[in-house]
Structure 1
Amino acid sequence: MTFSAALSLGSDCPVILAPMAGITDLPFRRVVAGFGASLVVSEMVASEDMVRARPSTRAKAELGMGDGHTAVQLAGREAGWMAEAARMLADQGARIIDINMGCPAKKVVGGLSGSALMRDLDHALRLIDAVAGAVDVPVTLKTRLGWDESGLNAPELARRAVAAGVQMVTIHGRTRCQFYKGQADWAAIASVVQAAGVPVIANGDITSPQAARQALAQSGAAGVMVGRGAQGRPWLLAQIAANLSGQPIPQSPQGRVLHALVAEHYDAMLAFYGRDLGVRVARKHLGWYADAACGDPAARRAVLTATDPAQVLALLPDLLSPVQEVAA
């Protein structure tokens, strides 16, 4: 299967949900996809853990059979585990396998995965070869500009990855050593666009339609990937896509519509994780929704400490209604 068959780019600019550990689980991806997204990507999945059937890892890769455009992101250091995990995921229905070579977390890098692979491109290519040779679905790559400012080798990695069969490359406009500090360098992604010869997606600090337009103008990328900007604003991708296609930007949900959306997302998390774990996992999302809505601080504290789902649902109107300033 070709990338264009799995994800029709058409004439519009693709707007993609980034993989985020502990965030882009199946319930959140479904909320984002409900507003419209060219592609949603799972949390990063450790390839060996996936093959060994560790339950928490399987949950991260849960696809939602019958859902729309879904990619699963794999990480690992050993070609054999990467290939076997890719085959398993493709058999389960993943339409695209994305390879993580950009995660900056110390735990991942310490295991010689993620962005650590940018320090050993020959080994990185062995992993790409193994995955591309194991599946018929498209294989994509997500990485950074380089390990540090002295090693900006993303163009070389992209060129070699495409030769090995990668059909799309996403670049976070920072080095590994920057983590998430400073401003993403969208202009630096232009060199990867020139080298790759396949769609390149710009990632990093895409937090508004205006930022998306600036990133595209500076990078020449084919599309954008939205990560932290979607926290508490799962409708942001739809707003960006509308703006890039010249359509009016849809309004952010408010009032009863927002309350219903968050309640449905909350119930989905409880169903996915079970009540006790679901209540804990949901707190970060509820906090982000409250931040985006500028809701009542007292309701925020109450919701984020509540253990009774019924109490949480009852507090949603206060949590999600902007605090009204009292005139002097």
Structure 2
Amino acid sequence: MAILVTGGLGYIGSHTVVELLHNDFDVVIVDDLSNSEKFILDNIEKVSGKRPAFYPFDLKRRELIKQLLDAHQIDGCINFAAFKAVGESQEKPLDYYENNLFTLVNLLQEFKERNISNFIFSSSCTVYGQADQQPIDENTPLKLPESSYGKTKQMGEEILKDFATAYQKRVSLLRYFNPIGAHSTALLGELPIGIPNNLVPYVTQTAAGIREKLSIWGNDYPTADGTAIRDYIYVVDLAKAHVKALQKLMATEEDTKIDIYNLGTGNGSSVLEVVRAFENANQVKVPYQICERRAGDITVAYANPAKAEKELGWKAETTLEEALRTTWEWQKYLETRS
């Protein structure tokens, strides 16, 4: 079985490629390298013992998608190709709508014409906005997200629901919470270009002395320590969920299927709790400063992952401190490359 993985050299994509290869799938990667680097392909091979096919192009170029699908018998797709920074999306909304939605439609047009099903979409808990209740399950009402990034994920889900219904396709919408950590080999991890937009890579870069201080965006939230709360899930646990979701889609006899799963640990941790856990796990200090709240951020979000455990036989198994330990090992590996 050959699976197309878009954004497959990115953070979650690269870890998922490794898990697919471990489960005997053939993998074809498309990545425009806008938020990744070519050496990740070499490291995927080192970790898995296999080298997937790789195409470095932008999915907005539909003619190149055609050429790829002419060259490979693709049985399904896991789509990670998207811009993903909440704060940046507020500054560059049109870039996010163009990149995250045009590329998705291009892929689906080709899948429709070639009668390919089994499409997994990298979605996000941002589709719930600030939920009225915690934890968040799949029946929690969707709200208009605060950020343009979240809006592209919500729109992407609606596009895929219509795609599945109109053309008898099988799709899985994976709404995940906050991925953190790195592969246990320290050969794969989050590789932010420029200043990190996510908390944990900023923590590691601050601990390494690359950044002077960590900026904590707001300490006046209605939480125990005043900082925002998220559900932080280890990236390898998350990658394994994608394989489980794909296997479930491919095993079904239904022509039309729409699966939706929340992927998280079920536990919420505040920003300050993450900083302290990182310090405890790695015996390093992280200097920080409190700043004003950031536009688009919500107060609390953590998952009820019971549906994924029941239907996919999957659950997150890695502790917060262990995930943060792997992040520090990845940061030290990156320093050896510089």
**TM-score over 0.5 for the alignment?**
no
The TM-score, its normalising length taken from structure 1, stands at 0.37
> Which structure: greater helix fraction?
1
TM-score by length of 2: 0.36
Higher RCO (CA 8 Å, separation ≥ 6 residues)? 2
